[in-house]
Chain A
Amino acid sequence: MFELKAVSKSFAGTPALSGVDLTLSAGTTTALIGPSGCGKSTLLRLLIGLLQPSSGEVRFDGQPLTPRSLAAARQRIGYVIQDGGLFPHLSARDNVALMARHLGWPVERIDARLETLRALTHFPASGLDRYPAELSGGQNQRVALMRALMLDPEALLLDEPLGALDPMIRHELQVELAEIFARLGKTVVLVTHDLAEAAFLGQTLVLMRAGRIVQQGSVEALQRYPAEAFVEHFLRAQRGLVGAWG
C-alpha cells in the first residue's frame, strides 16, 4: 500500500529522515515508535503528502505521490492528529460530512454513512449537532476518526491520536480502536511514543531513532532479537508495561 524508497527529509538543512526504506502492505496495522524527534511524525506526514521528501520516493498503491495525484490519493487515506484538528466553526456533523458534501454526495448517502460511523465509534447521536468546543477530548477524537473514515478510505493514518487524553479515556479508546481496526481491515499506520499502545494496536512495530529505522517486527521479535543496544534500552524503559502485554 505504502512504499518508501531511500527517502530523506531535512528541514532547513537539519536532517529529520535519512535514507528510509519501508514497505507497508495492505491490510496491516503498523505502529511507528521511537523517542521524540526520531522522525516518526515526519514519516507519517510524508505518507499523506503534507511533506515532500527532499530525496527519494514515496509511493501509494504503486503510484508515486506527486502534487498532481495528491488530491485523489488523499481521498483514499484517512488522517487523524493529536488534538483532532476539528474545525471549530463546524458542528461534529459538518466536520465529518465536509468532504462528502464537497464531493457532492446525496444527503441520504451522507446520513447513512454518518449513522454507520456513529455506531462504529460509539458516538452519541445527540452529539452530532454540537461544536468541538462543546465536546470532551475523547468525543472530539471520535469525531476526528469518523471524519477520517467518512469516504471509506483504504488507509488510515493516526498521529498520536490519543496523546492528549487522560489515562482512563485513553485506555477505553485504545480498546475501541483495536476493535475498529480489526473490523475494518484497513491499512493502518499509527504514530505513538507509548510502547504499550504500539504493542497493543500494532501488528508490526517500526522503531526509529534519529531519522533512521532501527528495527521492524513484532514486539516479541524486538524483545527476543534486538538489532542493537538502543532497542533493548528503549524496551527496558517501558518493560513493566511490555510484560503486561507481552
Chain B
Amino acid sequence: MSAVRHLSALIVATALLLAVLAGGCSGSREAPRVVIASKSFTESVILGELLAQLAATEGVAPRHRAGLGGTQLVFNALVAGDVDAYVEYTGTLRYQVFAGLDEAVEADLAGLLAARGIGIAGELGFGNHYALGMPEARAEALGIRRISDLVDHPALVFRFSNEFMGRADGWTALRERYALPQTDVRGVEHDIAYRAVASGLADLTDVYTTDAEIAHYRLRALDDDRGHFPRYDAVLLYRLELAERAPAALTALRQVLGRLDETQMTAMNAAVKLEGRAEAEVAAAFLREGLGLSPGPVHVEGRTSRVLARTAEHLFLVGVSLGVAVLVAVPLGIFAARRPRLGQAVLGVVGVGQTIPALALLVIMVPVFGIGPMPALVALFVYSLLPIVRNTHAGLTGIQSSLLESADALGLPRSARLWRIELPLAAPTVLAGIKTAAVINVGGATLGALVGAGGYGQPILTGIRLDDTALILEGAIPAALLALLVQGLFERGERALLPGPRFRRAARLR
C-alpha cells in the first residue's frame, strides 16, 4: 500500500513539476521582438536565416523558427501573430493560400493580405518557379524536351512532392492542361522525390527552378510549352503591426528587397545542400558579399549542445503530456470500472482518440493552439489516454471478487477500499499502461517538430531535407535510446510492484 502511495505521489509530483516548468519556460523566456519563420525546405530556411541576421544588424533580437512547416501552417502562424515575417512566393499565395477565390485574387493579392493584417514588403528579386525535371539522359533517349512530349509515354513513373499533388496549380491541373496519361503517380517528400529520380526509381518529379539538385542530378527542366505554371516570385510578407511595434526591424528586413537574383539563390541552395554548409553561414556570406553588410558572428550550434537542447525539448513534450494524461486517465479508468455502462462509453471515446492518425491530430490542433509545443502536447496527451484508461479499467475489474468481499466484510469504506486494496492490486497493470503510453509518446513526440515543438524530430526533418543521414541519426538514435530507457525504467518499477513474494521489495520502500 505504501509503495503505491509513493508511486502515485511521485507521479503527481512529477506532473506538477513539469507543469510548473512548462509555465516557467514560457513565462520567463524573454519574448523575442521579431519572429522570423521559414518553411521546411532549404531555400526557405536560408532566407529565414538571412532575414534574422538582417534584423540583428539593426540591433533587433530576432528569433528564427527554422523549417517550421508547410505553407498553410507558416502562413496561419503569420496571421495568428506567432510569426512576424517570412518569405513566400506569389504563385503559392494565389494558388494555395487563396485557392478558390481566383478572380478577386488575381486582382488584389495585397488587398486580401491586408484584410488579414499582412503586408507585402516587396519582391526579393528572384523567382522560384515550378518545373518538371527529368534525368537528362533519359529525356534525351525518349526525345522529351517539352511537357507536351510526355503524352506519348504513358508508362513513365512520376513522383511529386506532396504539396504539388494537392495544389490548385499542381498535378491535377497540369494533367488536365496537357492531357497527361500517366497512372503511376504518387506524392512523396520533395527531397525523397529527387532521390527517387536520381536513382532511377522514378522518371520525373516537380522541381523548383532555384533547386541546386537540378544541376547536381543532371536533370532537364521541361519546357512549359502551354504556359501552365504561374510565376513564383519571392516576396517578403510581414505583419502590418510590425511597422509600429518594431519599425527598425522592418527597415532592416527591407534591405534585401530587389537584391537577390536567381543565380545567387541557386548558389546558396547548392552551398547548403551539396557542400553541406550551415544555412546561417551561407546567409551571412551573402550579407557580407552581396549586400556589403557586416552581420554578427554566426553561431553554429555544436552537436552536443544541439542534442542536449533537443533532448530537453523531447523530455518536456513526453513528460508533460504523460504526466497530465496520468492525472486524467487513472481517474477515468476508475470511473469506467465503477460504472460499467458509462465506462464502456468512456473507453469508446478514448479509443476513438487513438484512431485519429497522429499527423492529422497535430494538424487539427494547430488552428486551436497555434504553433510550438502546445499542439504537440495536446496530441500526445490524447494518445496517452487510451492505454492508461484501458489498463486502469482492466486492472480494477480483474481483481478477484473474493478480495473485494473481504474488504467489504471488514467494514472498509469504498474510498479506503479503493486506496488500500484496489489501486495497489491494480498498480502493476496501471503501470504497464503508463509504460505503453510513455513508449508511444517518445516515438510520437518526434512528430512535434512538424508544428514547431522541437524535439528529436527536428534533426530528423532537417536531415531528410538536407539528405544528411548523420543528422537524421542525430534524432533517430537518441529517440530510440530514450524509448528503451523509458521501457527499462518502467519495467524495473513494474517488478517492484509484482504480486507475491516480490512484494517484499515494495515493502522495503516504506
Assess whether A89 is in contact with B405, with CB atoms less than 8 Å apart: no
Given known contacts A87-B421, A88-B499, A102-B420, A81 and B411 CB-to-CB distance under 8 angstroms: no
Q: How far is it, in angstroms, between the C-alpha of A73 and the C-alpha of B403 when the chains are bound? A: 19
Assess whether A88 is in contact with B411, with CB atoms less than 8 Å apart: no
Q: How far is it, in angstroms, between the C-alpha of A105 and the C-alpha of B406 when the chains are bound? A: 20
B416 within 8 A of A: yes
With both chains docked as a complex, state the minimum distance between the C-beta of A15 and any C-beta of chain B, in angstroms: 22
Assess whether B405 is in contact with A85, with CB atoms less than 8 Å apart: yes
A216 within 8 A of B: no
B328 within 8 A of A: no
Assess whether B1 is in contact with A89, with CB atoms less than 8 Å apart: yes
Assess whether A74 is in contact with B411, with CB atoms less than 8 Å apart: yes
Per the 8 Å Cβ criterion, residues 466-510 of B in contact with A are: 499-501, 503-504, 506-507
Per the 8 Å Cβ criterion, residues 363-412 of B in contact with A are: 402-403, 405-412
Assess whether B425 is in contact with A48, with CB atoms less than 8 Å apart: no
Among residues of A, the one whose C-beta sits closest to the C-beta of B407 is A87
Q: How far is it, in angstroms, between the C-alpha of A102 and the C-alpha of B416 when the chains are bound? A: 8
Assess whether A85 is in contact with B402, with CB atoms less than 8 Å apart: yes
Q: How far is it, in angstroms, between the C-alpha of A157 and the C-alpha of B30 when the chains are bound? A: 70
With both chains docked as a complex, state the minimum distance between the C-beta of B149 and any C-beta of chain A, in angstroms: 76
Task: Name the B residues within 8 Å of A90 (CB-CB).
Answer: 1, 503
Given known contacts A71-B411, A89-B499, A50 and B405 CB-to-CB distance under 8 angstroms: yes
With both chains docked as a complex, state the minimum distance between the C-beta of A204 and any C-beta of chain B, in angstroms: 23
Assess whether B412 is in contact with A133, with CB atoms less than 8 Å apart: no
Across the interface, B403 reaches (CB within 8 A) one of A48, A75, A79, A85, namely A85
Per the 8 Å Cβ criterion, residues 402-438 of B in contact with A are: 402-403, 405-413, 416, 420-421, 424-425
Report the stretch among A21-29, A91-99, A186-194, A237-245 that lies at the interface.
Answer: A91-99
A134 within 8 A of B: yes
Given known contacts A48-B409, A71-B411, A99-B411, A88 and B420 CB-to-CB distance under 8 angstroms: no
Across the interface, B409 reaches (CB within 8 A) one of A79, A86, A129, namely A79
Main secondary structure of the interface of B (DSSP, over half): helix
Given known contacts A89-B424, A102-B416, A50 and B409 CB-to-CB distance under 8 angstroms: yes
With both chains docked as a complex, state the minimum distance between the C-beta of A30 and any C-beta of chain B, in angstroms: 18
- Chain A 110-141, CB-CB to B under 8 Å as 1, else 0, gives 00000000000000000001010110000000
Task: Name the A residues within 8 Å of B500 (CB-CB).
Answer: 88, 131, 133
A147 within 8 A of B: yes
With both chains docked as a complex, state the minimum distance between the C-beta of B500 and any C-beta of chain A, in angstroms: 4
Task: Name the B residues within 8 Å of A134 (CB-CB).
Answer: 501
Task: Name the A residues within 8 Å of B410 (CB-CB).
Answer: 74, 79, 98-99, 147
With both chains docked as a complex, state the minimum distance between the C-beta of B282 and any C-beta of chain A, in angstroms: 62
Assess whether A131 is in contact with B501, with CB atoms less than 8 Å apart: yes
Tell me which of B410, B504, B506 has the highest count of chain A C-beta atoms within 10 A of its own C-beta: B410
Task: Name the B residues within 8 Å of A79 (CB-CB).
Answer: 406, 409-410
A160 within 8 A of B: no
A83 within 8 A of B: yes
Task: Name the A residues within 8 Å of B499 (CB-CB).
Answer: 88-89, 133
Assess whether B412 is in contact with A91, with CB atoms less than 8 Å apart: no
Q: How far is it, in angstroms, between the C-alpha of A81 and the C-alpha of B411 when the chains are bound? A: 15
Task: Name the B residues within 8 Å of A81 (CB-CB).
Answer: 402, 405-406
Q: How far is it, in angstroms, between the C-alpha of A81 and the C-alpha of B405 when the chains are bound? A: 10
With both chains docked as a complex, state the minimum distance between the C-beta of A152 and any C-beta of chain B, in angstroms: 13
Interface size class of A (residues with CB under 8 A): 20 to 34
Tell me which of B406, B407, B504, B507 has the highest count of chain A C-beta atoms within 10 A of its own C-beta: B406
Among residues of B, the one whose C-beta sits closest to the C-beta of A74 is B411
With both chains docked as a complex, state the minimum distance between the C-beta of B202 and any C-beta of chain A, in angstroms: 60
Assess whether B406 is in contact with A87, with CB atoms less than 8 Å apart: yes
Across the interface, A91 reaches (CB within 8 A) one of B411, B413, B424, B507, namely B507
Task: Name the B residues within 8 Å of A91 (CB-CB).
Answer: 503, 507
With both chains docked as a complex, state the minimum distance between the C-beta of B418 and any C-beta of chain A, in angstroms: 12
Across the interface, A99 reaches (CB within 8 A) one of B402, B412, B504, namely B412
Assess whether B504 is in contact with A131, with CB atoms less than 8 Å apart: yes
Assess whether A94 is in contact with B1, with CB atoms less than 8 Å apart: yes
Q: How far is it, in angstroms, between the C-alpha of A71 and the C-alpha of B425 when the chains are bound? A: 23
Assess whether A133 is in contact with B501, with CB atoms less than 8 Å apart: yes
Task: Name the A residues within 8 Å of B406 (CB-CB).
Answer: 79, 81, 85-87
Q: How far is it, in angstroms, between the C-alpha of A26 and the C-alpha of B470 when the chains are bound? A: 83
Task: Name the A residues within 8 Å of B420 (CB-CB).
Answer: 98, 102
Task: Name the A residues within 8 Å of B503 (CB-CB).
Answer: 88-91, 131
Per the 8 Å Cβ criterion, residues 26-50 of A in contact with B are: 48, 50
Assess whether A88 is in contact with B425, with CB atoms less than 8 Å apart: yes
Assess whether A89 is in contact with B425, with CB atoms less than 8 Å apart: yes
With both chains docked as a complex, state the minimum distance between the C-beta of B3 and any C-beta of chain A, in angstroms: 8
Assess whether A87 is in contact with B416, with CB atoms less than 8 Å apart: no
Q: How far is it, in angstroms, between the C-alpha of A90 and the C-alpha of B411 when the chains are bound? A: 17
Task: Name the B residues within 8 Å of A75 (CB-CB).
Answer: 411
Among residues of B, the one whose C-beta sits closest to the C-beta of A79 is B409
Task: Name the B residues within 8 Å of A94 (CB-CB).
Answer: 1
Q: How far is it, in angstroms, between the C-alpha of A73 and the C-alpha of B409 when the chains are bound? A: 10
Among residues of B, the one whose C-beta sits closest to the C-beta of A90 is B1
Task: Name the A residues within 8 Å of B402 (CB-CB).
Answer: 81, 83, 85
Q: How far is it, in angstroms, between the C-alpha of A90 and the C-alpha of B506 when the chains are bound? A: 10
Among residues of A, the one whose C-beta sits closest to the C-beta of B413 is A71
Q: How far is it, in angstroms, between the C-alpha of A124 and the C-alpha of B307 when the chains are bound? A: 58
Across the interface, A87 reaches (CB within 8 A) one of B403, B413, B504, B506, namely B403
Q: How far is it, in angstroms, between the C-alpha of A94 and the C-alpha of B504 when the chains are bound? A: 12
With both chains docked as a complex, state the minimum distance between the C-beta of A92 and any C-beta of chain B, in angstroms: 12
With both chains docked as a complex, state the minimum distance between the C-beta of B413 and any C-beta of chain A, in angstroms: 6
Tell me which of B405, B421, B503 has the highest count of chain A C-beta atoms within 10 A of its own C-beta: B503
Q: Which 4 A-B pairs have the closest CB atoms?
A: A85-B406, A74-B411, A79-B409, A133-B500
A to B CB contacts below 8 Å, 11 in the list: A71-B411, A71-B413, A77-B409, A85-B409, A87-B421, A89-B499, A90-B1, A91-B503, A98-B410, A129-B507, A133-B500
Contacts A88-B425, A90-B503, A131-B501 known; 10 new A-B pairs at CB < 8 A = A70-B411, A74-B411, A75-B411, A79-B410, A87-B407, A87-B421, A87-B425, A90-B1, A98-B412, A131-B503
